[in-house]
């Protein structure tokens, strides 16, 4: 009887934990929705009552009308699509370059000692200062924008991944060597699997930075994209278009982040 009672008690505690977790998740979700609703309500009321100038600050209703117009004339799909494509390509290249470069630095301590100061300097450099050079070197177009997106994220990605590789348990690496393994075996069987959380965390940061870099590139070298719409709208005082484009960017950033976070949750469930 005692083992059965213990099992029932354990199940009861587990159920309580699951209910508490679901309740916490619901409260967080409702709080987020409430904050958004209150913000939009205050924004709309302030614009209608004249507390703020709707010409400069727009309003949720004006943004909604502008968004509907963008959908009708298909400019939403063409401009959002090109920005999304450039961001995904930049992010993918940052991921590949980051993994390969961090691996090389981990394999060669001498190489890491030589290159680490340069990586720190390049990571600290304001990337917007490089955008005019990219235009001169590559011209205007998608190549310049993708390179701008890469430049914002790639150096920080290499540093963070290399730091994550170095923080893997040294005892496990020594065990691989003791059993006759080589450096390649230590990397593939210990370092890389042990760094998956770091890689996923790095990806969540990089997806946002890639989007920032793409928008910087579109400000200077694009004829399409949400960054171009923001610059064009500000020049001709179509501020509804500017704010609508910014809000679309917010949704894109949130969606991309949620995709990476979903991948992280899937990994945690697998382990």
32, 88: one domain = no
- Residue 32: enclosing H or E segment and its boundaries? helix 2-49
What tokens does 65 get? 């009308």
45, 89: one domain = no
Per DSSP, 182 falls in state: -
Higher pLDDT, 64 or 55: 64
How far apart are the C-alpha atoms of 128 and 152, rounded to whole Å?
A: 9
Per DSSP, 129 falls in state: G
| 22-62 pLDDT, tens digit each | 888 899 889 989 999 999 999 999 999 888 888 888 899 99
How far apart are the C-alpha atoms of 261 and 27, rounded to whole Å?
A: 20
72, 160: one domain = yes
**In terms of Cα–Cα distance, which of 235, 222, 88 is closest to 145?**
222
Q: Using a pLDDT cut of 70, give the percent of the chain over it.
A: 95
| 69-121 pLDDT, tens digit each | 999 999 999 999 999 999 999 999 999 999 999 999 999 888 989 998 899 89
130, 209: one domain = yes
45, 72: one domain = no
- Give the end of a domain, one of 34, 52, 70: 52
156, 69: one domain = yes
18, 140: one domain = no
139, 152: one domain = yes
76, 32: one domain = no
pLDDT score, position 5: 46
19, 86: one domain = no
118, 231: one domain = yes
- Give the end of a domain, one of 11, 28, 52: 52
pLDDT score, position 3: 52
Q: What is the CATH number of the domain that holds 99?
A: 1.10.3720.10
Q: Are 252 and 243 in contact (CB under 8 A)?
A: no
Lowest-pLDDT range of 6-10, 57-61, 160-164: 6-10
CA distances (Å), 44 to each of 34, 92, 233, 245, in order? 15, 39, 21, 18
Q: Are 177 and 247 in contact (CB under 8 A)?
A: no
Task: Provide the H-helix boundaries in 108-223.
Answer: 109-124, 131-138, 142-166, 170-178, 183-186, 192-194, 196-221
Q: How many domains is the chain partitioned into structurally? A: 2
199, 213: one domain = yes
Q: Give the domain extent around 115.
A: 57-270
């Amino acid at each position: 009887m005692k083992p059965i009672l213990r099992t029932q008690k354990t199940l009861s505690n587990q159920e309580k934990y699951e209910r508490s977790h679901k309740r916490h998740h619901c409260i967080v979700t409702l709080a987020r929705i409430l904050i958004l609703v209150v913000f939009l309500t205050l924004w709309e009321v302030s614009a209608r009552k004249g507390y703020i100038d709707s010409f400069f600050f727009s309003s949720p209703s004006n943004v909604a009308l502008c968004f509907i117009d963008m959908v009708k004339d298909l400019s939403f799909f063409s401009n959002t699509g090109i920005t999304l494509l450039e961001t995904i390509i930049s992010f993918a290249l940052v991921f590949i370059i980051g993994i390969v470069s961090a691996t090389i630095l981990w394999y060669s301590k001498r190489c890491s000692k030589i290159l680490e100061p340069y990586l720190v300097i390049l990571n600290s450099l304001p990337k917007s200062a490089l955008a005019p050079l990219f235009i001169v070197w590559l011209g205007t177009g998608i190549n310049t924008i993708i390179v701008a997106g890469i430049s914002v994220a790639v150096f920080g990605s290499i540093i963070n991944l290399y730091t994550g590789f170095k923080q893997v348990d040294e005892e496990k690496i020594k065990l691989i060597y003791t059993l006759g393994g080589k450096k390649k075996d230590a990397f593939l069987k210990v370092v890389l699997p042990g760094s998956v959380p770091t890689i996923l965390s790095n990806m969540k940061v990089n997806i946002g930075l890639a989007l920032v870099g793409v928008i910087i590139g579109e400000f200077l070298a694009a004829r399409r994209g949400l960054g171009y719409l923001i610059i064009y709208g500000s020049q001709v005082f179509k501020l509804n278009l500017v704010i609508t484009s910014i809000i679309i960017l917010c949704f894109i950033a949130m969606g991309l982040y949620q995709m990476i976070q979903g991948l992280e949750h899937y990994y945690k469930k697998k382990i």
